[in-house]
A and B are shown apart, each in its own frame.
Chain A
Amino acid sequence: MVATAPAPKPVNAELLADVEPRFVKVREFLEPIASRCTVAPGFNSPEPNRIDVNIEAGDLLTAASAFYDNHWGYLAAITGLDHGPEEDYLEALYHFCGGAAVTTLRVKLPRHGGSVPSIAERIPAAGFFEREFAEMFGVYPTGLQDCSHLFLPEDWPDGLYPLLKDTEIPSPKTIASMDGLDKPIVDQGGGRFIVPIGPQHPALKEPGHFEFTVEGEIVVGASMRLGYVHRGLEKATESRNYIQNLYLLERVCGICSHTHASAYSNAVEQLAGVEVPLRAQAIREIVAGLERIHSHLLWLGVAAHEAGFDTLFMYSWRDRETVMDLLEQITGNRVNYSICLLGGVKQDVNYAQADALRAGLDYLEQRSRHYYEVVTTDSMFLQRTRDIGTMSLAQAEYLGALGPTARASGVVRDVRVEAPYGAYRRFPVSVVMDTAGDLEARFKVRLKELFVSCSAIRTILDNLPDTELTTRMPRRVPAGETVSRVEAPRGEAFYFVKSNGTDMPERVKVRTPSLCNWTSVLNQAIGRQLADVPLLIAGMDPCFSCNDRMVVVRDNSMHHGVRSASSKGDAHHTEIWTWEKLRQYGIDFYRRGGNK
């Protein structure tokens, strides 16, 4: 098992070869903008794969557009950074990722009453990031259409911005008023109705509230309200030490808990300058692979359930227990494995466990092959997936989709390949792609990823490096900033961590893949039958506890490139009807012969 570990590759040379040409291009197109900045002109490179560019707030839209005009990467996140009342300024960090390179636009702002121009018109994915930033720091982007609460409750006190350093938040029990239940406006006039779904609903196991505007059976508008599982973790990290945060951040999401633990560990280890032993890196990737298998099988079952195919749901969940057993054998827990330590891993993989893994993977691979055959040949199932929710390559890039959702549309976007971290440098994986872009393609991509994960785990097991499991980790982490990107089962998870030399982080920013994928789902829903909506939502594998934020409104007047069903009536016309009037409308509607 231990014998022949491949010789470690010169990681940095490879990394530099990838990022250098990218940075040359960035310097080229950002030079005129950066030179206009009066605060601190020029480019800084705090880490080999990162470059920071200070710009004036007024130049933001030009600078952000330049990335897209030059086809340089995509907007990964907007981080707000409060430097506290003493230094008395805020910073808005716009992170753009291209390959392994991360370019950060830094805009300096006053702590109160600052403003930045909105870039959401140019980059739709930024809409959510901007609203989160506005809500958390009180910086409202000018030109942003919807500034309502993103993931704080409706009755959150005005002027209370949780992530400002000196904000004292009153006890939640005093904020909570038990009234003010939301009142859905069902009829939109012009033959349009809203179908409200959630937060408690039978299909998805997590709370989210959707409102689909329908004309007959056709969806013409979609909006959503999340934040039901917003807990305030980013703030909580600032009052816990690095080790406590590891266990807190693991519980950002119970499905991809290892992703969050490893993304956070990687970030803290980079800040501390600690190199994780090779065996520990390999074990982390074994667990990451098993987690991907469990997550994709879970998704397959839930998605099949949405399509009314409960047999497949039950079978896939039965087989998922195999991988749960393997996870339990290695880590000691079925969910929230806590295998990561800062500087290593907690448990070793012994010979017996390796053999159990191999046997389990053989079975899972065989079953996955069967499921692949089912979802690509079952004619009833294909009616629900083939050519439904099709997203073109251009749309996927424009809307900022990530993970399997993007890869099913032909976007090559996988952090494990683009910016290999941990053991992926020594044990590379291949990207699974499809070009069809419909729901069937998303099924195919995820199922094929099961095979890739199985073979990747086998390779690691055959070449498990023989080193220590942990290395010494300082309790206080030197001051600095870093970015950590990890490929979660749903797409890229992005972490920004700033340390200040103490044993607690100054700022931890978490951006999860589901947040980036919502725009694409809502756009796909428009023009489709209402019955397709559950499967479309399930198709991106949403994870509410990961993103727990935002409201989106996409009306057919606003969205791009998707056929709209019809556009009679004024989309923005709203009228409140009584129950009696609605009932009478229904009777008249069907007496007339429906939606003719």
Chain B
Amino acid sequence: MTQLSERWKEVIGKVKTWAFTNSIYVVHFNSGSCNGCDIEILATLTPRYDAERLGVKLIGSPRHADVLICTGPVSLQARERLLRTYQQMPDPKFVVVVGSCGVQGGVFDGCYNVMGGVDTVIPVNAYIPGCPPRPEAIIDGIVKLLGSLRSPAKAVPVLNPEGKVS
């Protein structure tokens, strides 16, 4: 009986991973970007690059999202809104940073209103550098994240609501 339930757990786990990695809902947050990455993310979702064929869909509410796509360095005023948006997402949740300034502050490093990269505020699972990264690079980053979720060997840690690795 126990054995069966273990087996079922495994099967259910596989189904969940399959479903999850084939229908990623993303929410986009700009915490101080110049727009360059934002328009490239939008270009990634529109007909030429069409990320929806990979199951990636942009949605409006963080409460329905699996992946938070962040752009830009974190400005002082955006920091707590970014944190709050992150906290509103249900588990499991992942963060992808698009653009060099979201990775490390980039060209805005040292500006008085800039905290630095996104990982100064919330934990980040994937970094996509570039100023801005091409849509192909953004797709590649998301596909790599999904690949790591599918393969347990490269599993990305699941994060608890406080943003700590559990």
Show the binding face of A for B, using Cβ within 8 Å: 151-156, 162, 169, 172-173, 175-176, 178-181, 199-203, 205-207, 227-233, 235-236, 239, 247-248, 251-255, 257, 298, 301, 313-315, 317-318, 320-321, 324, 334-336, 543-545
Contact = CB atoms under 8 A, between A and B. Distances in A.
Given A153-B77, A334-B40, A254 B111 contact: no
Interface in B36-89: 36-43, 46-48, 59-62, 72-73, 75-81, 83-85
Given A176-B76, A251-B107, A254-B132, A545 B115 contact: no
A232 B111 contact: yes
Interface stretch (B1-9, B22-30, B146-154): B22-30
Contacts of B112: 162, 169, 172, 232, 235-236
Given A200-B62, A233-B111, A253 B34 contact: yes
Given A175-B76, A334-B40, A336-B131, A253 B35 contact: yes
The interface size bin for chain B is 35 or more
Given A176-B115, A255-B39, A200 B80 contact: no
B66 to A, nearest CB: 16
B113 A254 contact: no
Contacts of A233: 108, 111
A231 B75 contact: yes
Contacts of A320: 43
Given A180-B80, A254-B39, A545-B33, A202 B110 contact: no
25 contacts: A172-B113, A178-B80, A180-B80, A200-B27, A200-B62, A207-B29, A207-B31, A228-B31, A228-B77, A229-B32, A229-B33, A229-B72, A231-B111, A231-B114, A232-B113, A236-B108, A251-B36, A253-B35, A255-B35, A257-B36, A334-B40, A334-B132, A335-B132, A545-B30, A545-B32
Give chain A's interface secondary structure class.
loop
Contacts of A153: 75-77, 113
Contacts of B60: 201-203
B17 interface: no
Contact of A321 (B48, B77, B107): B48
A231 B108 contact: yes
A546 B107 CA distance: 16
Given A229-B32, A231-B113, 20 more contacts: A152-B77, A153-B113, A172-B114, A199-B81, A200-B29, A200-B62, A201-B60, A202-B59, A228-B32, A229-B72, A230-B75, A231-B75, A232-B111, A233-B111, A253-B34, A253-B35, A317-B43, A318-B47, A334-B40, A336-B132
